[in-house]
Amino acid sequence: DAGVTQSPTHLIKTRGQQVTLRCSPKSGHDTVSWYQQALGQGPQFIFQYYEEEERQRGNFPDRFSGHQFPNYSSELNVNALLLGDSALYLCASSSSIQETQYFGPGTRLLVL
Amino acid sequence: AQSVAQPEDQVNVAEGNPLTVKCTYSVSGNPYLFWYVQYPNRGLQFLLKYITGDNLVKGSYGFEAEFNKSQTSFHLKKPSALVSDSALYFCAVRDTIRRDDKIIFGKGTRLHILP
């Protein structure tokens, strides 16, 4: 049983560009959450998707958007990249009937 | 709003000694509490959780945590530390009062087990 997978593992972009990160949830999970982890910090909640809709959102600007597909996989899009967007982006999946979120290995984004 | 505090940036323990990593929390309602571990250049691995019931919860790799409602704490413990336990540990909380699924993480505590 595959766990949460994310792609790509690493990415380098320049300021102003746009990026799309992808996540496939653990089998049997229907909810996907995205987090940003800056260097030396704990993960910060970006948003959560359930039933193909954004259910909750943290304190992130509209440049951060997402999508969930019918197979429960999800994308995180970031427009107009800033240097401060450089971070490890973590995807976590969970089931709507249990509390634990399981994390993928993350995508490390570097904005130059 | 919910919050989590991990007062120690780093904890050093000799191999074979007991270890404790501290965590306190603040929520409006009853908390769901979690501990995760992160190894270098990796995602977070789930260790254990408290939802309800027995205040002492046991998790993976011999770790356990004690929920203390009066002190709003959820300290992570292990009776005998291994060098392989060296990693970054995160405490996290979810507030149940609004069925809010958002999980708030502490800033992390780096655990060094000295051989």
Instruction: List the domain boundaries for chain B.
Output: 3-114
Across B91-106, average pLDDT: 82
Best of B9, B100, B102, B110 to mutate (most A CBs within 10 Å, chain A): B102
| pLDDT at B101 > cutoff 80 | no
> B46: helix, coil or strand?
strand
Across A29-33, A68-72, A84-88, A92-96, least confident range:
A92-96
| pLDDT at B86 > cutoff 70 | yes
| Token duo for residue B89 | 């540990």
| Token duo for residue A62 | 């509209």
Across B80-95, average pLDDT: 95
Q: Do residues B100 and B30 touch, judged by C-beta distance below 8 A?
A: no
The correct answer on CATH 2.60.40.10 for the domain covering B3-114 is yes
Direct distance between the N- and C-terminal alpha carbons of chain B, in angstroms, rounded to an integer? 41
Which pLDDT score is estimated for A1?
61
Nearest-CA distance A42 → chain B (Å): 4
pLDDT, chain B, mean:
93
More reliable by pLDDT, A95 or B91: B91
Which pLDDT score is estimated for A53?
94
Q: Taking the CB of residue A5, how many other CB atoms lie within 10 A of it? A: 15
> B60: helix, coil or strand?
helix
| pLDDT at A67 > cutoff 90 | yes
Which pLDDT score is estimated for A85?
98
How far is the C-alpha of B63 from the C-alpha of B77, rounded, in Å? 6
Task: Quick: pLDDT tens for B21-42.
Answer: 999 999 888 899 999 999 987 7
Strand locations in chain A, DSSP E? 5-7, 10-13, 19-24, 31-37, 44-50, 53-57, 64-68, 74-78, 87-94, 102-103, 107-111
Are B101 and A90 an interchain contact pair (Cβ–Cβ within 8 Å)?
A: no
B43, B46, B102 member nearest A56 (Cβ): B102
Q: Identify the contact set of chain B against chain A, taking CB-CB distances under 8 A.
A: 4, 32, 34, 36, 41-46, 49, 51, 90, 94, 100-108
| pLDDT at A98 > cutoff 90 | no
| pLDDT at B48 > cutoff 70 | yes
More reliable by pLDDT, B103 or B99: B103
Are A101 and B103 an interchain contact pair (Cβ–Cβ within 8 Å)?
A: yes
Q: What is the CATH number that goes with domain A5-111?
A: 2.60.40.10
How far is the C-alpha of A112 from the C-alpha of A50, rounded, in Å? 33
| pLDDT at B99 > cutoff 70 | no
Q: Do residues A47 and A64 touch, judged by C-beta distance below 8 A?
A: yes
| pLDDT at A38 > cutoff 80 | yes
Q: Taking the CB of residue B110, how many other CB atoms lie within 10 A of it? A: 16
Instruction: Name the residue ranges covered by the structural domains of chain A.
Output: 5-111
Q: Taking the CB of residue B40, how many other CB atoms lie within 10 A of it? A: 7
Across A80-105, average pLDDT: 92
Distances (CA, A) of B94 to A3, A47, A83, B31, B32: 22, 14, 30, 6, 5
pLDDT, chain A, mean:
94
How far is the C-alpha of A84 from the C-alpha of A8, rounded, in Å? 19
Which pLDDT score is estimated for B100?
63
**Short-list A61, A54, A57, A60, CA closest to A31:** A54
Which pLDDT score is estimated for A26?
94
| pLDDT at A81 > cutoff 90 | yes
